[in-house]
Structure 1
Amino acid sequence: MTKQLPPGQFATEKWPILHEGDVYEFHEATWKFTLFGEVKEEVSLSYQQVMELPKTISTIDMHCVTTWSKFDTTFEGIAFREFLRFVELNPDVAYVKVYGYLNGDPFGYSANLPLHALMGDDALFVYRWKDPHHDWQEISPKHGYPLRFIPPASFYLWKGAKWATGIRFMKTDEPGYWEVRGYSMTANPFQEERFSDSTLSKL
């Protein structure tokens, strides 16, 4: 089956490393994952609680806004939907922000996403991976260890979050880290939604 390469992208077999800020240093005793926002009660989970959740293995294509695409990377992780068992959402929740560590702030990075798009096997908080050239291995600290959110292939990869720390549930959409810096709120690579102002892509 021939893969569809989004416009403006090139295919690579490598998994490039790009990130903002420093590399998070994991300490299990202090690590936690928080579910908050439009919920009846905020919940924080320990690393052990997260790792006890059911696991999903899924092969996902990744499309980075810096123009590379990597096909057929297989991840093992916890599906986004598994976290919904811990919270009762308020009425009309339709969006989320997925948070990650940035420069000492556990919630310094964020990306906004529509809730309905995250219910499948391709929205994963991952901890290990493989591809046709690599056997199973843990994701490295530079790739987001211990937990990295990988979004479905219908979003540019900035909609994921390295060093994931939590999910905020929202009734209305709200820009995340890159979105407030001019990037697209919807970020569909197949429609080349790189910037919030489409004229910026022509500069």
Structure 2
Amino acid sequence: MTHFATPPERPFRQKVRILLLWALATAFMILNLVSRPIRPGYSLLESILEQTGTLLVIAGVIGRIWSILYVGGRKNSELVTQGPYSITRNPLYFFSLLAIFGVGLVFGSILIAAFFTILAYFVFLYTANREAAYLSHVFGREFDDYARGTPLFWPDFSGFQRGPERNFSPNALRVTMRDALFIVALVPISEFFEYLHTQGYVLAAVTLP
């Protein structure tokens, strides 16, 4: 866990993270418009990438909904350690990375999928460390014990705990669904740009592996 010289007394402003992700999404759409992936001589690889990408997007969206059902309305006010939060301290960010990588695969380029996923990872890593510092400040030893046994990012399913039934925040679920639909919307947008390139309406400046 990253420690800061002066522990933050207020939660990290999520608007910064959201603005950075919007910037990444805008860059992805611009890249879609000016480039296209190198297509193999047969469509099998393209089909595998698209199907795998679609499955990852679905898994990412379902994972985000699963996570928000546990933490929605309680983030920063209660230390949630059950469900998805028993296998990783940041399941929302982890499942978002799955979806982002999936969108890149649907585009048809492993390179682009990896590039945008790595950029998003560093955004989430910075945010997660700032949030961890705040939670450590608020919950003290309870959070530190939880952090020692639960990975910051990559899930450890051996520690899974279902936990009791929980109520959820409809507003938090609404926000999560909005964000998820935005990620999903990148898939048809990518397909639409591919159609424009295929029909010759827009000429790609570069091709990407």
Which structure exhibits the higher relative contact order, with contacts defined as CA atoms closer than 8 Å and separated by 6 or more residues?
A: 2
Q: TM-score, normalised by structure 2?
A: 0.23
Q: TM-score, normalised by structure 1?
A: 0.23
Q: Where is the helix percentage greater, Structure 1 or Structure 2?
A: 2
Give 1 or 2 for the bigger CA radius of gyration: 2
Task: Name the structure where strand makes up a greater proportion of residues.
Answer: 1
